[in-house]
Structures are given as C-alpha cells and as structure tokens.
A and B are shown apart, each in its own frame.
Chain A
Amino acid sequence: MRLMFINGSPRGTKSNTDRLMEHFIRGFLETEGNACRTEYLVKYRQNLQTLTEKFSAAENVIIGFPLYIDAMPGSVKEFLEVLAPFEGKINLPALGFVIQCGFPETSHTRFAARYCEKFSRRIGCRFLGAILKGGCEGLDIQPNFLTDKYFSLFNMIGVSFGKTGKFDEELLTKLARPEHLSAQNMAQIIPYINQALWDARMEKNGVLDRSFDRPFTS
C-alpha cells in the first residue's frame, strides 16, 4: 500500500502532528511493500498546485492538522480550496484525517471531523476515517506514561492500517480517551497545565506579570 501523509501543521517538522504521526508511519511501514511519503504543507504555500498534483496521483492520503478555533487552520483550508477542481473526478485517492488539539478532551475535534467526512464525500474520495486526539499541546512536559500511551496507540493504528487499509475503531476509541472530563478531573488538570505549560514559559520570557495585558482596550 502506498500512502502520502500531508502534515498541515503550520509548525511543519516541529509539530505535535509530526511527533504523533511518526509513530503511525513506523507502524504502517511494518507491512512489507508499504511505502509512505510525508509532505509538509507549509513548504508548499507559494506552490499549492504542485501538492494538488501529488494528491491526485496518490493511492491513499492522510491529511493531519492541529485544531485551530474548532476547525482546520486557515492554511489547511487554503489547500482544501485548491482541491476544488478535482471534485467528482475518477481515481481520486482514499482520504483520511488526523486531527489533534490542545484542550485535553478529544470531543473538541469531533465537529471538524464531521466536516472532513463531508469534504471527502463532496470531492469524491473514499473516506478512510479520522484519527482524533485531544491533549496534544506540550507533549514535552506531559508525563511519559501518558505520551508513551499516545505514541503506542498511534503506532498500533498505523500497524493495523498498514495491514488492512482501515483505521481500527477500537484503537481509535482508546486513543480518544478522555472524550470528556468530569468537573473533578478538570479541577485537577487545569492548574497543572496553567503552571507547567504557560506560566513557566511566560516567566522564562519575563512577561508573567504582563500576561493579562490588554493592548487593544480603547
């Protein structure tokens, strides 16, 4: 099976999308004869046409992106727009998505995923499904037992996709946990994230005392 992975993160090679998908791809390549190519959307911004040609020639495509305000980043939407001429063409690739986000609950990504499924139908690509995961900002500061779990599930989803051409529903459900958080979970997690992910970095930059600045108050 041949796969083209389009990494739609504006952070390119230094993205959470990449760190997670690295494990998927390694799993995918375990099946003999499989091949995968990664393309970084940020490198094509001035030349989206080239990427659309690669898209239309591919057998399977997975587009990965971070959730930006409950949807795809504007730069990913630019790419979806230039795919319009392929609408209804024959021999389009099968199309899957990876959507990961910063908030800890995976439920945030489900709405953009519905759009992605409809997009696949609109353009006429067989829909492979969507790999969804919340809690992906600050992978570096999260405890290893958590990130190891994400990485190993991405790997297993890749292995199984490499063998069957499908995303394993059971693994997707496991990866998506927590789908929602209880009030109690939130009360535990939020102060930790605020401190470790944000305050620590603002402090390092010397702006912690200015964090609530309102430059546009009239």
Chain B
Amino acid sequence: MNVLVLNGNPFNDKGNIDQYLGILVEELKSAGHNTTVIVLRDLKISPCTGCFNCWLKTPGTCTIRDDARDVTRQYIAAEHVIFASPLIMGFPSALLKNAMDRNISIMHPHLEEVDGEVHHKKRYDRYPVISYLLEKESCTDEEDIAILTDIFRREAINVRSSLGFVHFTESPVEEIVHAINVH
C-alpha cells in the first residue's frame, strides 16, 4: 500500500515523535508498504489565504507557489495518510493544520448532501484513508482526546475520506503497522 506520513512536528530538537516515526517507517517498509515521509518543518508552506482561487481560477491547483503543491500531489497518490504531530495546546501543530488547509483544492466547490449534512463534492475518484499519530502533552486527558477524535472524524467526512485510527506514541509501533495492514 502507498502510505504517506506527514510529520508535523515543528520542533527541530527531534523529540519523541521523530524517533517513533523513524522506527514506524522502517517497520512499514519491511511489511511491504511503499512509505513516504514528508517533514513539514523542512518545507515552505504558508497559510491558506481563503482566496478560493484553487476552485475559481485554476480548478484543482492552489495559486500560492510553495511546497504545499507537492504535499497535495503526494496526498492524492497515497492510499493511507498518517498525520503525525505532537499535541500543542491540545491540538495538532499549526504546521500540520496549515498543510491541511492548503489541501482544499482536492475538493470541488459544489455542495451536496453527505450523511444528512452539507459537504463538498469530490474532485477525485478516490481519496486516501486518513489517520492520526499524536504525542500527548503532560496535561492531555480523556476530554481532549474525545474533542479531537470528534473533530478528526468530521474532517475525514469533510474531505470525503474515512478516519483510519487515532493513536498516540505510547502505543507499540506494531499496533500502528497492524492498523495500516487491516485497512
């Protein structure tokens, strides 16, 4: 399977999640998955400006020229995308969220009903499954996890995908590999 890992750890001093991802990627590769890692902090991805040019001027392509375009290309090529980030103030990093915001060119502006709610139409035939691998803060509690899981589930519906798993770096790497295998 084509697996894309978006490493949204903004901190250069490595930290737990980078080490964890290093091991995970090796395990995924030896399980036969074609695995790509993008380290977002090494790229230039400015925030979405809300201009909608990616729908109204150059359909499917954001008009800001930076590295977000390559992230979008790799996202569409993947079958499973893992969004990896430490939690910072109870949410994945701004670095990761900016990359996700810049990805809305994968949707079509038209609205349609999806499970009783209004959402956007698909632009592409298929989208990857999306999953989250997060590193907890010392204060992360059950309530934070419930809030995040609800938001992630909704995000997946909104980008016409499905939510694979939400795991934390305290889970054994094998569990993540297994979760990817069964998808």
Q: Which residues of A contact B (CB under 8 A)?
A: 9-11, 15, 45, 66, 68-75, 77-78, 80-81, 83-84, 103-105, 107-108, 111-112, 114-115, 118-119, 122-123, 180-181, 183, 186-187, 189-190, 193-194, 197-198, 201-202, 205, 207, 210-218
In angstroms, Cα B96 to Cα A68, docked, is 13
User: Contacting A115 at CB < 8 Å: which of B91, B95, B98, B106?
Assistant: B91
Of B17-25, B43-51, B171-179, the one with at least 4 CB within 8 A of chain A: B43-51
Q: Smallest CB-CB separation from B117: which chain A residue?
A: A105
Minimum distance in angstroms from A187 CB to a CB of chain B: 8
- A11-B49, A111-B150, A213-B59 known; A69+B158 contact, CB < 8 A: yes
Minimum distance in angstroms from B105 CB to a CB of chain A: 8
Contact B110 A194 (CB under 8 A): yes
Contact A119 B89 (CB under 8 A): yes
In angstroms, Cα B94 to Cα A161, docked, is 31
Query: Can you report 12 A-B residue pairs in the complex whose CB atoms are below 8 A from each other?
Result: A9-B50, A10-B48, A11-B49, A70-B151, A70-B158, A108-B117, A108-B154, A180-B117, A207-B57, A212-B108, A214-B123, A218-B77
Q: Which residues of B contact A (CB under 8 A)?
A: 47-50, 55-61, 72-73, 76-77, 88-91, 93-101, 104, 106, 108-113, 116-119, 123-124, 139, 143-144, 147-148, 150-151, 154-155, 158-159
Contact B117 A103 (CB under 8 A): yes
User: Contacting A122 at CB < 8 Å: which of B57, B90, B97, B154?
Assistant: B90
Contact A74 B47 (CB under 8 A): yes
Contact A118 B144 (CB under 8 A): yes
Minimum distance in angstroms from B134 CB to a CB of chain A: 14
- A103-B117, A211-B109 known; A71+B56 contact, CB < 8 A: no
Q: Smallest CB-CB separation from A114: which chain B residue?
A: B147
Besides A71-B91, A197-B109, A215-B60, 17 other A-B contacts (C-beta < 8 A): A10-B49, A10-B50, A70-B151, A72-B97, A74-B97, A75-B47, A77-B93, A84-B88, A111-B151, A122-B89, A186-B118, A190-B112, A193-B111, A198-B109, A202-B56, A202-B59, A216-B60
- A103-B119, A112-B151, A183-B113 known; A69+B90 contact, CB < 8 A: no
User: Contacting B111 at CB < 8 Å: which of A15, A70, A103, A115?
Assistant: A103
Contact B90 A115 (CB under 8 A): yes
User: Contacting B77 at CB < 8 Å: which of A118, A198, A216?
Assistant: A216
- A103-B111, A111-B154 known; A10+B47 contact, CB < 8 A: yes
Minimum distance in angstroms from B62 CB to a CB of chain A: 10
User: Contacting B59 at CB < 8 Å: which of A71, A103, A105, A210?
Assistant: A210
In angstroms, Cα B95 to Cα A214, docked, is 26
- A69-B100, A69-B158, A115-B151 known; A215+B139 contact, CB < 8 A: no
Q: Which chain B residues border A73 with CB–CB below 8 Å?
A: 47-48, 50, 97, 101
